[in-house]
Amino acid sequence: MKSIIDGILIGFVLALLILLTVFIAKIEKHSLSSSKALITIHTDLVDIGAIIKEIQGAKVQLVTITAYHPPSRGINSDSDPNRTALMVKPKPGWTAVISRNMIKYGWIGKKIYAPNIGVWKIEGVMGKEVIGNQIDLCFPSHKKAMAFGVKRNIMMTAFD
């Protein structure tokens, strides 16, 4: 049953990514005068085979996503908020950490993607008290982390 669900999830992600990435827009800006610009858009076909190969190597999991701001003690209880457990300096809007349960999926060092959340990189591991499939995203302020809140049952895709 799990392999059927995994196949459906990978198929769904594959279809979604193909729909979103069949054309790549390249914008070139040409000056017409000091106050106007002409923008021309060129489209190139994407190598679908490369996309399929990358998606087949992707890993999909249903996760709970939370947010943190490293210097804020209420969200980050580690002894050094300037480093993740893997000794990486957290970058707001990029760094993500995973619960220890997710280490077995091989996600450390991988990029992750979720619709309406974006692309992040796994650069750390949460404390052992966090259970389940959870991902914590690094935000630039405590206010923004709190505004993000908790997102449950999100389909997250990991890729190289």
- The pLDDT value recorded for residue 13 is 55
What pLDDT is recorded for position 119? 95
Do residues 96 and 118 both lie within one domain? yes
Domain, as residue range, for 36: 2-54
The pLDDT score that the predictor gives to residue 88 is 86
Domain co-membership, 89 together with 129: yes
Please tell me whether residues 108 and 154 are part of one structural domain. Answer: yes
- Amino acid (one-letter) located at 83: R
**132 three-class SS:** coil
Residues 77 and 7 grouped into a single domain: no
Instruction: Mark whether 42 and 90 lie in a shared domain.
Output: no
pLDDT, position 20: 45
Measure Cα distances from 13 to 6, 18, 51, 61, 149 in Å.
Answer: 10, 8, 11, 11, 25
Q: What is the pLDDT of residue 78?
A: 55
Residue 130: closest CA among 110, 150, 114: 150
Total domains in the fold of the chain: 2
Helices 2-21 and 48-56, packing angle to 10 deg: 150
State the residue for tokens 């908790």.
Answer: 150
Residue with tokens 């490369």: 50
Percent of the chain scored above 90 by pLDDT? Answer: 41
Joined together, the tokens standing for residue 19 give 């729909």
Domain containing 88 — which CATH number?
2.40.40.10
Q: What is the pLDDT of residue 86?
A: 77
- Residues with pLDDT less than 70, the chain: 1-58, 73-79
How confident is the model at residue 128, as a pLDDT?
Answer: 86
